[in-house]
Amino acid sequence: MIEATSDVTVPAPPEEVFAAVSDLDHADWLPAVRRLRHVGGPRGKVGARYEVEVGAMGRHLRGVLVCKELTAPSRMVMELEEGIKLTIRASVRSVRGGSRVEISARYAVGSGPFGSAVERASQGAARREVARACEQLAARFGRKTEAGRRA
């Protein structure tokens, strides 16, 4: 099983940041997502279902993401319903000057030597995509520079 985690601080309150993170109808900050469409369940609540197409390592993966946990304004957990085992977690907490967002993706391709080889080969790309997702999210809110100004 591979886990890729990244975090970022944004100059906005947790409620505002969590609203952006959990609004999957407008998840343009996720760079690997090519398409995301609500297909069932209550929007913005546990049980919401989203058809997703992801571009990763030159391939297009499709599936249905299901919201398994949603505790505003601090935590969201999504899981892929079929295929590879994928769990995406997003947490938001208040910090001085804004909010700290942590995004993690944990996945397993399968068992056996082939699954392990694919997981190892994809580890670097997964880390880059999760880090890029944090940066794209931060760009929505602007980022404070070390001098305390917005970048």
Quick one: pLDDT at residue 55?
A: 67
Instruction: Tell me whether residue 124 is in a domain.
Output: yes
Instruction: Tell me whether residue 150 is in a domain.
Output: no
Whole-angstrom Cα distance, residue 99 to residue 12? Answer: 6
pTM of the shown model = 0.81
Q: How many domains does the chain have?
A: 1
Low-confidence ranges of the chain (pLDDT < 50): 145-151
Instruction: Tell me whether residue 130 is in a domain.
Output: yes
Instruction: Tell me whether residue 146 is in a domain.
Output: no
Quick one: pLDDT at residue 105?
A: 86
With 0-12 / 13-18 / 19 or more C-beta atoms within 10 angstroms meaning exposed / middle / buried, residue 66 is middle
Quick one: pLDDT at residue 151?
A: 42
Instruction: Tell me whether residue 151 is in a domain.
Output: no
Instruction: Tell me whether residue 149 is in a domain.
Output: no
Quick one: pLDDT at residue 54?
A: 75
For residue 101, what are the domain limits? Answer: 2-141
Instruction: Tell me whether residue 133 is in a domain.
Output: yes
Instruction: Tell me whether residue 148 is in a domain.
Output: no
Edge-to-edge strand order for the sheet containing 75-80?
2-10, 98-108, 85-95, 75-80, 59-71, 49-56, 33-40
CB-based contact 49:41 (threshold 8 Å): yes
CATH of the domain at 27: 3.30.530.20
